[in-house]
Structure 1
């Protein structure tokens, strides 16, 4: 984990931004878009042109969090997307459940602001709560439920960094409508008739690292959530505090289990062996390896979609 610091967030972010700018070629010093690569989606970095291209391990950047999760490489990659758009990709992100503070988790967003970023694309792997969602589908997030934030685990808690934004930022407009429109246009152009689908929905943030129980999945669905995951929302809150436009996409890597667990005295359990009882509990259970595998199998579509979306945003004639 990155060491915590008592220095103000603006000072820490300024030091990190200066460190990066000093080591970047002129053409990459002012990236136009930042892309956060979620679980299993680090292959997005391969879409950047080889030259010019500069990589930084998080451990080398002042105050950057260090990662501990499989599927998250932990490097910042600068390059040209579509050969034209200067971009920076976060290959892997820090999570609150790793033991990082929520301030450390969102620190890179503030660095991006000081690099001049005005648009961010965040991706993640998520569990599908909406029964219409299938594994491999992509969901454009258009709202969120931040239970941890409502309970006070919030990235803007404490003294406000006036250099970044207002004390009480609104979030009713967090998910940029114009950027979402570009995604739909890009999907129709490069994915179209593929068997996977593009949806829009509400993402619920949970702290993790355990996956949700059946009762928790039912509760989140009743609250209006279509997806559940352990990232993205804190970053979005800080991005909007900084005035950065936000686009967020989830790859559905597993479907939530809603069916209640049978009672121990249920008739259907009579005569069942321990193996059969265990199989009943295991049905639909999520695990991290399956999440990564689902991410790998659908990564090509996600990469094509993001590359075309960036082209639509910054080069409308592409």
Structure 2
């Protein structure tokens, strides 16, 4: 067994049993362009499609709440989602695989682009849980349009129970998944107001709603959204601790979405990324000390002084013992500005085997 295999095998944990539809919390152990791997405390790791959390800034070691979509796929992994399985308040509706859902109704709505009326049941960091004719689906925050933002000005509590016009963009009968969108429902008047802005414009606006996934900002009658990941260069857990309705904020326009009728805004883009200067503290071959915060098949995550470090599995020292919580010395191998972390190499204190 190689060093990585021994390392992962040595991590003892209490095995739990997971059931389809169950909500669970996992620790991120691997992040790729397409998938995020989670330690769920079960015999198998969970795998989440990266696109489900595309608006969130996540890193190794972060905790993430998910729902179990499939207890085991063909690779032996647990398939998870940030959205709960679609379910219905009635039964005897869909027949095989339907779990009480009028699947044909939604399939027809998707193919013919029919607008449906839904009711907001819940709002979370990923978006909204919406009910249509007793069936629950998900409206991701990336698909939230002007209609919702205008209603959000009444406050988060008033948002629950609101009726929205939505379309179906994704159906998965096997996993009971139903994804909605508000695209393509914007009036010419709203589109006209959006054209008054261009990418790069700086403006001052007033916060009209603080949602789990972002800030709704009114700029001279046009609604814009600052995703939680665009508020600060540092990770923000709870926007309500930093902002409140009626606060004035300065923003920069990062995009115009005519199909959703909203401005894409950023607060953090107004300031220089602190990592740019911070990275100057970590020149190549510098010896640094850090605490191990996580271990995955890809390598070891390390907390450095003011930055995140990462030791790839391909560079791990076979004579060193890596454990979460352990402080160790490393060599700076380089700085990854895209991933905003310091790439590390082992700090070998002995010349044995090198000469």
Shorter-normalised TM range = under 0.3
More helix per residue: 1 or 2? 1
More strand per residue: 1 or 2? 2
* Greater Rg by CA: 2
TM-score by length of 1: 0.26
Greater RCO, 1 or 2 (C-alpha within 8 Å, sep 6+) = 1
